[in-house]
Amino acid sequence: MRQFINTFLAVLILAISLNVQAQDYAKAIKTPAVYNHYTLNPFLINPANSGFDGHNRLLLNFRSQWAGFDDSPKGITLGINATPAANMGLSGLIYAENFGVANRFNGQVNYAYNFKISEDHKFSLGLGGTYTQYSLDNRAITDPNHQSPDPIINRAVNGLNYFGADFGFWGEFNKKLRVGITLPQFALVRLDNEVRAKDTASNFNFVGFLGGIWNIPSYRLVIEPSVCVRKISDVPFGTDLNVLFKMLEDRLTGGFTYSFGPSDSRVSFLLGVRIEQLRFYYSYDQTYQIFQNYNGGSHELTVSFDIGKSSKPAPAQKDVMEVK
């Protein structure tokens, strides 16, 4: 156990040092996609969760933010999470987002290796590589307010390309506690030969997750409370307080999230159903800002399909926290 802790701390310190050296070329590129459903599929925010549960799963996620407001952000994600070998996890994500005249495309591949300390304790280290293109629609040039020529806007219409790397840790202990640490874009490079002045300041990117598993067998209910903390680029810290309710052997799911930070607070409600290997989840959230008066809130939908059966046996009742 001590050797594991020393190894993890060494990798974490190395990743942090690389992040300090990385240049913050585009803050918008470093900001991860917004998901409410990461509690259901943590590999969306942490590469180390790839293949962790032994499932092979296809996923389609759609999020419409500030519905009803013209040119509001909309994002769609196609993902796969797989376990090709006993101690290995692979996942991939294709993400496309449009907000106003701005577009973002991400293609990401994640690799994770799982370590089993004992029957009830295991953890995983993961790395992810991401290709990102950030571009503007032609409307940015044809807009009457655009004063041509503007070399920055003209280059952005053609697209700015980046490659980034993520580092992640994910652990499950005694089948009661989950811990996740992600360093998004700890390395980021521009994929062209343009000479740019070095930024004088660099930013620390961090996503931390802590969750529990509370089983109540007499009600066929599992409660999973969790907290997620984010610090991305120069954006202030944000915190999510989540509760998931899984009922009737995971056939029905309910959830609640309260998010707060220095500039925004929001609430989210989630409902889901599982029919054999097919899962449907929907959530609605709204903010406590004045801007909420001008939009219909945000909607998110996830459809996933489990390919084959899980290679991991169902946990025994004695392995999780019980309340009789």
pLDDT in tens, 35-49: 889 999 999 999 999
* CA geometry: angle 195, 197, 202, nearest 5 deg: 125
Contact yes or no for 83/56 (Cβ under 8 A): yes
Torsion angle, alpha carbons of 272, 273, 276, 278, to 10? -50
Quote the domain boundaries for residue 263: 2-322
- List alpha helices for the chain, DSSP H: 2-21, 27-30, 139-142, 151-158
d(CA 112, CA 125): 6
- The tally of domains found in the chain comes to 1
d(CA 170, CA 286): 30
pLDDT in tens, 89-110: 999 999 999 988 889 999 999 9
d(CA 72, CA 298): 10
d(CA 231, CA 266): 17
- The pLDDT of residue 6 is 43
pLDDT in tens, 268-310: 999 999 999 999 999 999 988 888 888 889 999 999 999 975 4
- The pLDDT of residue 33 is 63
Q: In the numeric block, which tokens belong to residue 213?
A: 């598993």
Provide the CATH number for the domain around residue 177.
2.40.160.40
Q: What are the beta bridge partners of residue 257? A: 242, 268
pLDDT in tens, 173-191: 998 999 999 999 888 888 8
DSSP string over 183-242: EEEEEEEESS----PPPS-----EEEEEEE-EEEGGGTEEEEEEEEEEE-TTSPPEEEEE
Look over the chain and give the mean of its residue pLDDT values, rounded to a whole number.
81
